[in-house]
Structure 1
Protein backbone atom coordinates (compact mmCIF):
# COMPACT_ATOMS: atom_id res chain seq x y z
CA UNK A 1 0.00 0.00 0.00
CA UNK A 2 1.46 3.34 -1.07
CA UNK A 3 1.06 6.54 0.90
CA UNK A 4 -0.95 9.31 -0.70
CA UNK A 5 1.25 12.17 -1.91
CA UNK A 6 1.10 15.31 0.19
CA UNK A 7 -1.36 17.51 -1.72
CA UNK A 8 -1.17 21.01 -0.32
CA UNK A 9 -2.68 22.81 -3.29
CA UNK A 10 -5.88 23.75 -1.46
CA UNK A 11 -4.44 24.46 1.99
CA UNK A 12 -4.85 28.23 1.78
CA UNK A 13 -8.49 27.86 0.70
CA UNK A 14 -9.18 25.28 3.39
CA UNK A 15 -7.60 27.40 6.11
CA UNK A 16 -9.47 30.50 4.91
CA UNK A 17 -12.72 28.54 5.04
CA UNK A 18 -11.94 27.52 8.63
CA UNK A 19 -11.10 31.12 9.58
CA UNK A 20 -14.40 32.34 8.12
CA UNK A 21 -16.38 29.69 10.01
CA UNK A 22 -14.52 30.44 13.22
CA UNK A 23 -15.30 34.16 12.98
CA UNK A 24 -18.95 33.36 12.27
CA UNK A 25 -19.11 31.13 15.35
CA UNK A 26 -17.46 33.80 17.51
CA UNK A 27 -20.05 36.35 16.40
CA UNK A 28 -22.95 33.97 16.98
CA UNK A 29 -21.66 33.13 20.45
CA UNK A 30 -21.28 36.81 21.31
CA UNK A 31 -24.89 37.42 20.29
CA UNK A 32 -26.00 34.52 22.47
CA UNK A 33 -23.96 35.83 25.41
CA UNK A 34 -25.80 39.16 25.17
CA UNK A 35 -29.22 37.46 25.00
CA UNK A 36 -28.96 34.81 27.68
CA UNK A 37 -29.36 35.22 31.43
CA UNK A 38 -27.91 31.79 32.15
CA UNK A 39 -24.50 32.38 33.72
CA UNK A 40 -23.31 28.83 33.01
CA UNK A 41 -24.09 29.24 29.31
CA UNK A 42 -22.36 32.64 29.24
CA UNK A 43 -19.26 31.19 30.90
CA UNK A 44 -19.18 28.25 28.48
CA UNK A 45 -19.53 30.51 25.44
CA UNK A 46 -16.88 32.93 26.70
CA UNK A 47 -14.45 30.03 27.20
CA UNK A 48 -15.22 28.67 23.73
CA UNK A 49 -14.62 32.08 22.19
CA UNK A 50 -11.24 32.33 23.94
CA UNK A 51 -10.25 29.03 22.35
CA UNK A 52 -11.63 30.13 18.99
CA UNK A 53 -9.64 33.37 19.10
CA UNK A 54 -6.46 31.49 19.95
CA UNK A 55 -7.20 29.14 17.09
CA UNK A 56 -7.72 32.10 14.75
CA UNK A 57 -4.26 33.42 15.55
CA UNK A 58 -2.76 30.02 14.75
CA UNK A 59 -4.72 29.70 11.52
CA UNK A 60 -3.70 33.19 10.40
CA UNK A 61 -0.05 32.33 10.98
CA UNK A 62 -0.52 29.05 9.12
CA UNK A 63 -2.16 30.72 6.14
CA UNK A 64 0.77 33.15 5.90
CA UNK A 65 3.20 30.21 5.92
CA UNK A 66 1.21 28.41 3.24
CA UNK A 67 1.05 31.53 1.08
CA UNK A 68 4.84 31.96 1.39
CA UNK A 69 5.38 28.29 0.54
CA UNK A 70 3.12 28.61 -2.50
CA UNK A 71 4.98 31.75 -3.60
CA UNK A 72 8.25 29.86 -3.31
CA UNK A 73 6.96 27.07 -5.49
CA UNK A 74 6.16 24.43 -2.87
CA UNK A 75 3.03 22.40 -3.46
Structure 2
Protein backbone atom coordinates (compact mmCIF):
# COMPACT_ATOMS: atom_id res chain seq x y z
CA UNK A 1 0.00 0.00 0.00
CA UNK A 2 1.32 3.44 -0.91
CA UNK A 3 2.10 5.99 1.76
CA UNK A 4 -0.30 8.93 1.93
CA UNK A 5 0.95 12.22 0.49
CA UNK A 6 1.82 14.24 3.61
CA UNK A 7 3.03 17.74 2.83
CA UNK A 8 2.58 19.34 6.23
CA UNK A 9 6.31 19.73 6.78
CA UNK A 10 7.07 21.13 3.31
CA UNK A 11 7.19 24.82 4.35
CA UNK A 12 9.63 23.99 7.16
CA UNK A 13 11.70 21.78 4.86
CA UNK A 14 11.81 24.51 2.21
CA UNK A 15 12.77 27.12 4.82
CA UNK A 16 15.61 24.86 5.92
CA UNK A 17 16.83 24.69 2.30
CA UNK A 18 16.60 28.49 2.05
CA UNK A 19 18.60 28.94 5.26
CA UNK A 20 21.33 26.54 4.14
CA UNK A 21 21.57 28.08 0.69
CA UNK A 22 21.85 31.59 2.15
CA UNK A 23 24.56 30.38 4.55
CA UNK A 24 26.51 28.84 1.66
CA UNK A 25 26.13 32.03 -0.38
CA UNK A 26 27.47 34.17 2.47
CA UNK A 27 30.31 31.74 3.13
CA UNK A 28 31.37 31.92 -0.51
CA UNK A 29 31.13 35.73 -0.51
CA UNK A 30 33.27 35.89 2.64
CA UNK A 31 35.79 33.54 1.06
CA UNK A 32 36.01 35.77 -2.01
CA UNK A 33 36.40 38.88 0.15
CA UNK A 34 39.29 37.30 2.03
CA UNK A 35 41.03 35.36 -0.74
CA UNK A 36 40.14 36.99 -4.05
CA UNK A 37 43.75 38.00 -4.66
CA UNK A 38 44.97 34.45 -3.94
CA UNK A 39 42.73 32.46 -6.29
CA UNK A 40 42.71 32.24 -10.05
CA UNK A 41 40.31 34.26 -12.17
CA UNK A 42 38.63 31.03 -13.26
CA UNK A 43 38.03 29.94 -9.66
CA UNK A 44 36.66 33.38 -8.83
CA UNK A 45 34.29 33.25 -11.83
CA UNK A 46 33.16 29.76 -10.83
CA UNK A 47 32.34 30.87 -7.28
CA UNK A 48 30.48 33.93 -8.57
CA UNK A 49 28.52 31.79 -11.04
CA UNK A 50 27.62 29.33 -8.31
CA UNK A 51 26.42 32.19 -6.12
CA UNK A 52 24.25 33.44 -8.98
CA UNK A 53 22.69 29.99 -9.18
CA UNK A 54 22.21 30.02 -5.41
CA UNK A 55 20.36 33.33 -5.65
CA UNK A 56 18.09 31.86 -8.33
CA UNK A 57 17.49 28.80 -6.16
CA UNK A 58 16.58 30.98 -3.19
CA UNK A 59 14.02 32.84 -5.31
CA UNK A 60 12.58 29.52 -6.44
CA UNK A 61 12.45 28.20 -2.88
CA UNK A 62 10.60 31.32 -1.74
CA UNK A 63 8.00 30.90 -4.48
CA UNK A 64 7.65 27.21 -3.67
CA UNK A 65 7.20 28.02 0.03
CA UNK A 66 4.47 30.53 -0.83
CA UNK A 67 2.69 27.88 -2.90
CA UNK A 68 2.98 25.29 -0.13
CA UNK A 69 1.76 27.76 2.50
CA UNK A 70 -1.31 28.54 0.41
CA UNK A 71 -2.30 24.86 0.20
TM (norm. structure 2) is: 0.88
TM (norm. structure 1) is: 0.84
Gaps of 5+ in 2: none
Q: CA offsets, 1:3-39, max 9 Å, x none?
A: 2211101000000000000000000000111122212
- The 4+ residue runs of structure 1 with deviation greater than 6 A are none
1:68 to 58, 67, 70: 70
Q: Which residue of structure 1 aligns with residue 29 of structure 2?
A: 30
CA RMSD of aligned residues (A): 1.0
Q: Distance in 1 between matches of 2:33 and 2:22?
A: 17
Greater RCO, CA 8 A, separation 6+: 2
| Number of residue pairs aligned between Structure 1 and Structure 2 | 68
Gaps of 5+ in 1: 70-75
2:57 to 51, 55, 58: 55
